[in-house]
Amino acid sequence: MIDRYLIARQGLTLSQLAALLQTYPVTVEQYYGSDLGLAEFRQILGISLGKANQYILVNYLRSSIGQETGGHISPLAAYHAEQDQVLILDVARYKYPPIWVSVQALWQAMQTIDPVSGKSRGFLVIHNREPNPKN
Protein backbone atom coordinates (compact mmCIF):
# COMPACT_ATOMS: atom_id res chain seq x y z
CA MET A 1 0.00 0.00 0.00
CA ILE A 2 1.23 3.47 -0.87
CA ASP A 3 1.01 6.17 1.77
CA ARG A 4 -1.46 8.84 0.61
CA TYR A 5 0.69 11.65 2.04
CA LEU A 6 3.63 10.43 0.00
CA ILE A 7 1.40 10.35 -3.10
CA ALA A 8 0.27 13.93 -2.40
CA ARG A 9 3.90 15.04 -2.16
CA GLN A 10 5.54 13.14 -5.02
CA GLY A 11 2.74 11.53 -7.05
CA LEU A 12 2.73 7.98 -8.39
CA THR A 13 5.24 6.21 -10.57
CA LEU A 14 3.96 4.46 -13.68
CA SER A 15 4.23 1.03 -12.06
CA GLN A 16 2.51 2.22 -8.85
CA LEU A 17 -0.39 3.57 -10.92
CA ALA A 18 -0.59 0.29 -12.86
CA ALA A 19 -0.68 -1.71 -9.63
CA LEU A 20 -3.40 0.52 -8.20
CA LEU A 21 -5.55 0.23 -11.32
CA GLN A 22 -5.19 -3.56 -11.35
CA THR A 23 -7.20 -3.70 -8.13
CA TYR A 24 -10.22 -2.88 -10.32
CA PRO A 25 -11.80 -5.18 -12.94
CA VAL A 26 -9.56 -3.92 -15.75
CA THR A 27 -6.49 -5.14 -17.57
CA VAL A 28 -3.53 -2.79 -17.57
CA GLU A 29 -0.70 -2.87 -20.10
CA GLN A 30 2.32 -0.85 -19.00
CA TYR A 31 4.78 0.70 -21.46
CA TYR A 32 7.91 2.65 -20.57
CA GLY A 33 8.78 5.32 -23.13
CA SER A 34 12.30 3.96 -23.48
CA ASP A 35 10.97 0.52 -24.44
CA LEU A 36 9.23 1.46 -27.67
CA GLY A 37 9.83 3.53 -30.74
CA LEU A 38 7.75 6.35 -32.11
CA ALA A 39 6.16 4.18 -34.82
CA GLU A 40 5.10 1.57 -32.26
CA PHE A 41 3.63 4.31 -30.05
CA ARG A 42 1.58 5.60 -33.02
CA GLN A 43 0.33 2.08 -33.74
CA ILE A 44 -0.80 1.58 -30.13
CA LEU A 45 -2.53 4.98 -30.15
CA GLY A 46 -4.44 4.10 -33.32
CA ILE A 47 -5.58 0.74 -32.01
CA SER A 48 -6.36 1.67 -28.40
CA LEU A 49 -8.03 5.04 -28.88
CA GLY A 50 -10.13 3.57 -31.67
CA LYS A 51 -11.89 1.20 -29.27
CA ALA A 52 -14.73 2.21 -26.99
CA ASN A 53 -13.51 0.16 -24.03
CA GLN A 54 -9.82 1.11 -24.05
CA TYR A 55 -8.15 4.09 -22.43
CA ILE A 56 -4.65 5.50 -22.30
CA LEU A 57 -3.08 7.32 -19.36
CA VAL A 58 0.23 9.02 -20.12
CA ASN A 59 3.00 9.90 -17.71
CA TYR A 60 5.07 12.69 -19.24
CA LEU A 61 7.24 15.66 -18.34
CA ARG A 62 5.14 18.78 -18.75
CA SER A 63 8.05 21.08 -19.50
CA SER A 64 8.82 18.94 -22.57
CA ILE A 65 5.58 20.11 -24.18
CA GLY A 66 5.88 23.75 -23.11
CA GLN A 67 4.01 23.61 -19.80
CA GLU A 68 5.29 24.12 -16.27
CA THR A 69 7.98 21.77 -15.02
CA GLY A 70 7.14 18.43 -13.48
CA GLY A 71 5.99 14.93 -14.20
CA HIS A 72 2.29 14.52 -14.81
CA ILE A 73 -0.33 11.86 -15.55
CA SER A 74 -3.35 12.57 -17.76
CA PRO A 75 -5.71 10.64 -20.03
CA LEU A 76 -5.62 10.83 -23.80
CA ALA A 77 -8.98 11.48 -25.44
CA ALA A 78 -8.24 11.20 -29.15
CA TYR A 79 -5.64 10.51 -31.81
CA HIS A 80 -5.71 12.36 -35.13
CA ALA A 81 -3.47 10.29 -37.39
CA GLU A 82 -3.53 12.70 -40.35
CA GLN A 83 -2.25 15.57 -38.20
CA ASP A 84 -0.18 13.22 -36.01
CA GLN A 85 -1.57 14.70 -32.80
CA VAL A 86 -3.15 13.46 -29.58
CA LEU A 87 -5.64 15.24 -27.36
CA ILE A 88 -4.58 15.36 -23.71
CA LEU A 89 -7.38 15.89 -21.20
CA ASP A 90 -5.44 17.43 -18.37
CA VAL A 91 -6.64 16.40 -14.93
CA ALA A 92 -5.65 19.86 -13.64
CA ARG A 93 -8.13 21.56 -15.95
CA TYR A 94 -8.35 24.60 -13.68
CA LYS A 95 -4.82 25.33 -14.86
CA TYR A 96 -4.50 23.57 -18.22
CA PRO A 97 -7.36 23.08 -20.68
CA PRO A 98 -7.39 20.09 -23.05
CA ILE A 99 -4.55 20.41 -25.56
CA TRP A 100 -3.62 18.86 -28.88
CA VAL A 101 0.06 17.84 -28.88
CA SER A 102 2.16 16.29 -31.60
CA VAL A 103 2.69 12.58 -31.10
CA GLN A 104 6.43 13.06 -31.39
CA ALA A 105 6.48 15.75 -28.66
CA LEU A 106 4.48 13.52 -26.29
CA TRP A 107 6.68 10.52 -27.08
CA GLN A 108 9.78 12.61 -26.30
CA ALA A 109 8.16 13.82 -23.05
CA MET A 110 7.74 10.14 -22.07
CA GLN A 111 11.45 9.46 -22.69
CA THR A 112 12.38 11.60 -19.67
CA ILE A 113 13.40 9.91 -16.44
CA ASP A 114 11.10 9.80 -13.43
CA PRO A 115 13.43 10.62 -10.52
CA VAL A 116 11.46 8.45 -8.06
CA SER A 117 11.55 5.23 -10.09
CA GLY A 118 14.74 5.92 -12.03
CA LYS A 119 12.95 4.71 -15.18
CA SER A 120 11.57 6.56 -18.15
CA ARG A 121 8.02 7.80 -18.02
CA GLY A 122 5.48 6.11 -20.29
CA PHE A 123 1.85 5.16 -20.54
CA LEU A 124 -0.79 2.63 -19.58
CA VAL A 125 -3.40 1.06 -21.82
CA ILE A 126 -6.45 0.14 -19.76
CA HIS A 127 -9.38 -1.97 -20.88
CA ASN A 128 -12.24 -3.93 -19.38
CA ARG A 129 -11.48 -7.54 -18.51
CA GLU A 130 -14.77 -8.56 -20.06
CA PRO A 131 -15.17 -7.70 -23.75
CA ASN A 132 -17.77 -5.07 -24.52
CA PRO A 133 -20.56 -6.88 -26.48
CA LYS A 134 -21.46 -3.60 -28.25
CA ASN A 135 -18.01 -3.38 -29.92
Strand-pair category, 85-88 with 99-102: antiparallel
Structural domains in the chain? Answer: 10-127 (3.90.70.30)
How far is residue 65's CA from residue 106's CA, in Å, rounded to a whole number? Answer: 7
Specify whether the CB–CB gap between 102 and 84 falls below 8 A. yes
For every one of its 135 residues, what pLDDT tens digit does the chain have, with 9 covering 90 and above?
A: 667 766 666 678 899 999 999 999 999 999 999 999 999 999 999 999 988 889 999 999 988 888 887 888 999 999 999 999 999 998 777 777 899 999 999 999 999 999 989 999 999 999 987 655 555
Prediction pTM value: 0.86
| Sign of the torsion angle spanned by Cα atoms 112, 102, 80, 61 | positive
Question: 122: closest CA among 77, 79, 88, 73?
Answer: 73
Q: Taking CA 22 as the corner, what is the angle to CA 33 and CA 115, rounded to the nearest 5 degrees? A: 40
How far is residue 78's CA from residue 117's CA, in Å, rounded to a whole number? Answer: 28
Question: 123: closest CA among 20, 44, 67?
Answer: 44
C-alpha distance from residue 28 to each of 14, 19, 124 (Å): 11, 9, 6
